[in-house]
A = this chain, B = another copy of it.
Amino acid sequence: MGQRSRATTIADVAAHAGVSQASVSRVLNGRSTVDPDIVRRVQASIAELGYRPSPTARSLVNGRNDTVAMVVPDLENPLFQGILKGLSLAAARDGYRVLVADTAENVDDEESIALEARQRCDALVLCAPRMPEARLRALVDQVSPVVVVNRPLPGADVPVVGVDYVRGIRDLVDHLHDLGHRRIAYVSGPPTSASNAERRRGVAEALAARPDVRIEEVPGGSRLDDGYAASDAVLAAHRDGCTAVIAFNDLVALGLMTRLHELGVEVPRDLSIAGFDDVPMAGFATPPLTSMSVPRGEIGGQVWLRLRTLIDGGPVEHSVLYSPRLEARGSTGAIAGARA
């Protein structure tokens, strides 16, 4: 930390300028009114000595270090990357930095990692899609101020910023329904994922709203190869009458499309495919992947706003859920034999 070898301290500056440390500190922080002549001398000394105040010492006395931590299960997930980026940029605008802690999908370590991270920072952003809700609720109480990302936590004293997966799935089903599809396969995400549970709720609601639709669940995962590997089950569902597929996310959808292409299944002629998240690649797939767009960067920004309010002693602001927006592209089409 700090500078090379024996760093210059505020005492050096004070001595060099012939004033007290207190005055140097005052000049540094512009706290109280200081004699212009002293200001000038201090600034000159600071420049001459190349003095930079120690953030650590400041942190110790101020009780804050202008840093927040973000805990994520997997830094390689495009969703979290986007959120991290949005958070990082928004926080930087307010002079805050972001520490990242990748739990490497290791749910058991999440509490200790979060606690540790929180200790070193002023606040926490928690992305813990797999942690059982009871544990998450308990954890959240210990690490306040904290904002939770992307999973509902009704009644908890924490702002949540997330995505309305329920609605997203319903909208996606509507889209497919409009195209004439009545039998749909849902390639599910990780079984313990909270957002997978939300999507399944969306499936259930869609079914309730549309008695003419049937949706079959097929085990999947969250990554490209999971989608690739799900092709057999998807094709079985297809033979069974399914004409469209909703994948847990875009990676799964893209992996699945790759395999289907290899197998000579044509999308969307034989089978319509839709993903979720609208990752950058979605629009560039062949065919372009229909997806529910999620504003990753903006979520990061909203997370920061709530976190900042909390840090400044403000109230727990309202949670917010973004409604995914349908990006209808070429991978979904009218059911064979129907007129869209």
Q: Which of A29-37, A57-65, A201-209, A238-246 contacts B (4 or more CB under 8 A)?
A: A57-65
Inter-chain contact B55/A119, CB cutoff 8 Å: yes
Q: A56-B56, A88-B100, A120-B55 are in contact. Are A255 and B228 (CB under 8 A)?
A: no
CB contact between A100 and one of B1, B56, B84, B281 (< 8 Å): that residue? B84
Q: Which of A91-99, A128-136, A182-190, A191-199 contacts B (4 or more CB under 8 A)?
A: A91-99
Residue A261, interface by CB 8 Å: yes
- Please tell me if A85 contacts chain B, counting CB pairs below 8 Å: yes
A75 with B67, Cβ < 8 A, contacts A97-B117, A120-B97, A284-B254 known: no
Q: Closest 4 interchain pairs by CB?
A: A75-B85, A258-B284, A56-B59, A55-B120
Q: A63, B281: Cβ atoms under 8 Å?
A: no
Q: Which of A55, A75, A88, A121 has the most CB of B within 10 A?
A: A75
Q: Contacts of A59 on B, CB cut-off 8 Å?
A: 1, 56, 59
Is A122 a contact partner of B1 (Cβ separation < 8 A)? yes
A144 at the binding interface (Cβ < 8 Å): yes
Residues of B within 8 A of A102 (CB): 85, 88-89, 92
Within 8 A of B (CB), among A284-306: 284-286, 288
Roughly how many angstroms separate A3 CA and B145 CA in the complex, as a whole number? 10
Beta-carbon contacts under 8 Å, A1-31 to B: 1-4
- Chain A residues 85-144 with CB under 8 Å of chain B are 85, 88-89, 92, 97-102, 104, 117, 119-122, 144
Q: Are B284's CB and A286's CB within 8 A?
A: no
A117 to B57, CA, bound (A): 15
Q: How far is the CA of A284 from the CA of B75 in the complex (A)?
A: 20
In the complex, how many angstroms separate the beta carbon of A142 from the nearest chain B beta carbon?
8
A101 CB contacts on chain B under 8 angstroms: 88, 92, 97
A39 proximal to B (CB < 8 A): no
**By the criterion CB–CB under 8 Å, are A119 and B82 in contact?**
no
